């Protein structure tokens, strides 16, 4: 296991951040999500929400531990 990953893998998916960079991304993402969702009405707020979910997913995918083929992790 390398220490360069911001998000450790769990049996299914990724866990909470392991590094300061991961916590910074997560807290910044929550702040942007809440402020952006409040200021955007209707459909633009929904599109913003979906885009933010996709952005966090991409960051976790590229900065987290790579998933194993087939299963994430055996118990």
Residue 41 lies in a domain: yes
Helices (H), the chain: 20-39, 42-63
Residue 5 lies in a domain: no
Residue 37 lies in a domain: yes
Residue 42 lies in a domain: yes
| Closest among 16, 11, 7 to 73, alpha carbons compared | 11
What was the pLDDT predicted at 56? Answer: 94
For residue 45, what are its two tokens? Answer: 């707020």
Domain range for 38 is 20-63
The answer to whether the CB of 34 falls within 8 A of the CB of 61 is no
Residue 75 lies in a domain: no
If one counts the domains in the chain, the total is: 1
CA of residue 58 relative to chain centroid, distance: 7
Residue 40 lies in a domain: yes
Average pLDDT over residues 49-54: 94
Global pTM exceeds 0.85:
no
What was the pLDDT predicted at 72? Answer: 52
Residues linked to residue 14 through DSSP beta bridges, in sequence order: 9
């Amino acid at each position: 296991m390398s220490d360069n990953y911001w998000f450790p893998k769990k049996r299914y998916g990724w866990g909470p951040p392991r590094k300061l960079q991961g916590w910074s991304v997560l807290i910044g993402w929550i702040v942007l999500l809440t402020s952006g969702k409040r200021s955007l009405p209707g459909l633009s707020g929904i599109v913003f929400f979906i885009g933010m979910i996709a952005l966090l997913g991409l960051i976790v995918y590229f900065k987290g531990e790579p998933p194993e083929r087939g299963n994430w992790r055996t118990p």
